């Protein structure tokens, strides 16, 4: 098993579609339906007009348990899992209740990923795998292996890492 | 900060005194008070006469939240924290409720360790720090840095790693 290459996958914004969740929460709260175009290029924490809102949403119980799964993520991760050691590496430590929510979310959407291969942490710089797919440049910058930037509204102006547009693009990358 | 060396500390059997907790649970259940001498050299999961007991204790809610802290651990970890980047790396993923219990336990006994420096995982082989202090040889065998075996009743016959007898001995090791 340790001859297989290792891939670490971020959760928020990679396995999960956080943006849709932010916009849905904002719509519930204000009645205003923002679109992907409205938020393009904005920082993640300030993607809606109320700059305190995203922080409030992620700090509320239930947010992480009810995240929508990213399009095509389940199928592509299942494929990767057949050929690589796939780890989920998520910053979950800030909000203690999110630990259980994230664990249960993964059990629902990615039941084939063993608990042995789940890592909840703060800093990711002590995680060492061959690949890391993450939407935040700060995590890629301290990573020792091959860092791959998962496309997100908040990282479109960042060009220091190879970009994967979506899960179909992840499939293409690892197929080659 | 990244110029400082990194130390990963295991929780169960290292920061926490799991053996005392097993023996207390067993005493509560049976009225029988076993001593350290009774369990010396036995496998951790089979250290009391009822071979199913330890598994049952660690699988019960509240076990991890109520663990006694290891003797001298708080003082020595505080010292290490002043000179190293100290991480807590604990296998907490098998039992979903233990995530919150371990997080709250650390906040109580080691409040100076930031959530940024806490890692809950399954396998530890993707954790890369300069040092790892752990009581289980399986974690030390896959570790790339300097592995240090923390003395425990269940590992006394294991001689492949430098052994630290207790937290005073950890202090001595890193003082030098």
Q: What is the pLDDT of residue A99?
A: 95
pLDDT above 80 for B1: no
Length of chain B equals 176
With an 8 Å Cβ cutoff, are A99 and B103 in contact?
A: yes
B36 included as an active-site residue:
no
pLDDT in tens, A17-44: 999 999 999 999 999 999 999 999 999 9
Q: What is the least distance, in Å, from the CA of B73 to any CA of chain A?
A: 22
Instruction: Round the average pLDDT of chain A to a whole number and report it.
Output: 96
* Arithmetic mean of pLDDT, B48-65: 97
Q: Taking CA A149 as the corner, what is the angle to CA A145 and CA A152, rounded to the nearest 5 degrees?
A: 155
pLDDT at B2 over 70: no
What value does the mean pLDDT take over residues B39-54? 97
**Tokens standing for A143?**
């990573």
Q: What is the CATH number of domain B6-17+68-175?
A: 3.40.50.1000
Characterize B2-32 residue by residue with b for buried, 16 or more Cβ atoms within 10 angstroms of its Cβ, and e for exposed: eeeebbbbbbbbbbbbbbebbbebbeeeeee
The average pLDDT across B71-99 equals 95
Which residues fall within 8 angstroms of residue B3, CB to CB, at 6 or more apart?
Answer: none
Q: What is the mean pLDDT of chain B?
A: 96
Q: For residue A3, what pLDDT is reported?
A: 81
Query: In sequence order, which residues have a C-beta less than 8 Å from that of residue B30 and are 6 or more positions away?
Result: B50
Q: If pLDDT is split at 50, 70 and 90, which confidence band does B176 have?
A: confident
Q: What is the pLDDT of residues B9-33, one digit of tens each?
A: 999 999 999 999 999 999 999 999 9
Q: Is A151 exposed, middle or buried (0-12, 13-18, 19+ CB in 10 A)?
A: middle
**A97 — contact with chain B (CB < 8 Å)?**
yes
Is B12 part of the annotated catalytic residue set?
A: yes
A120–B119 C-beta distance less than 8 A: yes
Taking contacts as CB-CB distances below 8 angstroms, the residues of chain B near A132 are none
What pLDDT score does B161 carry? 98
A64-98 per-position pLDDT tens digit: 999 999 999 999 999 999 999 999 999 998 899 99
Closest residue, chain A, to B117 (C-alpha): A122
The domain limits of chain B are 6-17+68-175, 18-58
């Amino acid at each position: 098993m340790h001859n297989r290459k290792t891939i670490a996958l971020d959760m928020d914004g990679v396995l999960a579609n956080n943006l849709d969740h932010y916009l849905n929460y904002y719509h519930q709260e204000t009645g205003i339906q923002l679109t992907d175009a409205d938020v393009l290029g904005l920082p993640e924490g300030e993607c809606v007009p109320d700059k305190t809102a995203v922080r409030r949403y992620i700090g509320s119980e239930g947010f992480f348990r009810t995240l929508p799964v990213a399009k095509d993520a389940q199928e592509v991760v299942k494929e990767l899992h057949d050929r690589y050691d796939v780890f989920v590496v998520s910053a979950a430590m800030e909000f203690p209740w999110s630990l259980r929510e994230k664990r249960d979310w993964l059990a629902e959407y990615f039941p084939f990923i063993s608990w042995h291969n789940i890592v909840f942490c703060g800093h990711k710089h002590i995680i060492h795998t061959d690949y890391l797919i993450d939407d935040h440049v700060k995590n890629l910058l301290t990573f020792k292996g091959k860092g791959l930037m998962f496309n997100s509204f908040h990282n479109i102006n960042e060009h220091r890492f190879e970009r994967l547009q979506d899960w179909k693009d992840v499939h293409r990358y690892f197929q080659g």
